Amino acid sequence: MTDLLTVTELTRSYGSFVALDRADLTVAEGARHALIGPNGAGKTTLLNLIAGTDLATSGRIAFAGRDITWQRPHRRSRGGIARTFQHPSVVPVATVLDNVLLGAWHHHTAAPWRRAGRRRIADDCRAILETVGLTGLEHRQAGELSHGRRRMLDLAVALAGRPRLLLLDEPAAGLTDADVTVLLAVLRDLSDDVAVLLVEHNLDVVAAFARTVTVLHHGRPLVTGTPAEIQADPAVREAYLGRRKVAETA
Ligand code: ATP
């Protein structure tokens, strides 16, 4: 498989504290890649550096063959990197459909200044809402949605950007079991054109979703492998899992 994202010796220091320490990571085209590790391991820091909302102290990030280490976040977004946040970042006073339209606006091939173009963009946004199970809610205000639905709307906004790389920061956090089932179904149905890098503490979600898992520990990748390999790795057990268990992939 071709590499889509290559992170080389990436470091982020805050004063004397090193949150990410010469980290290397490769994400393949179409990957289903999970990033796990204890609280404070540097997972969100790494997503922030890849998305461009934070800048590295040193190191390099290459995406689709281009060096994006110093690229502004909106350029990365246009280049095909989308993300969701630990706390869903939807516009609460806008409708569900308008939130997705905002996500699609700069990424769609149709011309938004033409009526036919606007109709095509809106149709595609409705199709994305159907994908994430929000059909019928398009005229509701986003702020009225339940936490689980707001998470799915956040995901819909990210998908509206037509990403090649989707960064998901703890998408299962705060979800009910039923919402987790919906989330996993949506992730399973994503096109192989989209690579996913998922940060998640819920190891059942990781086991059900990921083909590749990287364990981050003290800002450094400890090991990368299949969920089964990660489960069997003594260093991982020692550093992170303890008595917890990454379930066998179904
Ligand atoms: P969690 O699983 O709890 O979300 P994480 O692995 O995502 O943790 P990060 O949020 O990346 O961890 O944080 C890594 C470390 O960097 C933490 O110790 C955090 O306090 C520190 N850190 C993150 N951002 C900053 C900042 N802006 N200034 C100072 N320290 C920071």
Q: How many percent of the chain have pLDDT more than 90?
A: 75
pLDDT of residue 108: 65
Strand residue runs (E) in the chain: 3-14, 17-28, 32-36, 58-63, 66-67, 81-84, 165-169, 195-199, 212-217, 220-225
Flag whether the pTM goes above 0.85. yes
The total of other beta-carbon atoms located within 10 Å of residue 245's CB is 12
What end-to-end distance do the CA atoms of the chain give, in Å? 22
pLDDT of residue 111: 66
* Range list of H helices, 68-175: 73-79, 96-104, 115-131, 147-160
pLDDT tens sequence across 181-237? 999 999 999 999 999 999 998 989 999 999 999 999 999 999 999 999 998 888 888
Contacts of 35 (CB under 8 A, 6+ apart): 25, 43, 46, 47, 197, 198, 199, 200, 213, 214, 216
User: Ligand 1 mean position to 168 CA, how many Å?
Assistant: 16
Residue with more model confidence, 242 or 40: 40
Half-sphere exposure of 237 (CA within 13 A, CB side): 8
Domain boundary assignment for the chain: 3-80+163-249, 90-160
Per-residue pLDDT band at 241 (split at 50, 70, 90): low
Q: Which atom of ligand 1 is nearest to the CA of 14?
A: 29
User: Ligand 1 mean position to 74 CA, how many Å?
Assistant: 23
- As for ligand 1, residues whose beta carbon falls within 6 Å of it are 14, 17, 19, 37, 39-45
Q: Which atom of ligand 1 is nearest to the CA of 46?
A: 11
Q: Examine the pLDDT at 139 and tell me if it is beyond 80.
A: yes
Rounded CA separation 221/27 (Å): 13
Architecture of domain 3-80+163-249: 3-Layer(aba) Sandwich (3.40)
Half-sphere exposure of 102 (CA within 13 A, CB side): 15
The total of other beta-carbon atoms located within 10 Å of residue 33's CB is 23
Contacts of 51 (CB under 8 A, 6+ apart): 73, 76, 77, 81, 83, 167
Q: Which of 16, 32, 31, 25 is nearest to 46 (CA)?
A: 25
Q: Contact 92/141 with Cβ under 8 angstroms?
A: yes
Per-residue pLDDT band at 71 (split at 50, 70, 90): very high
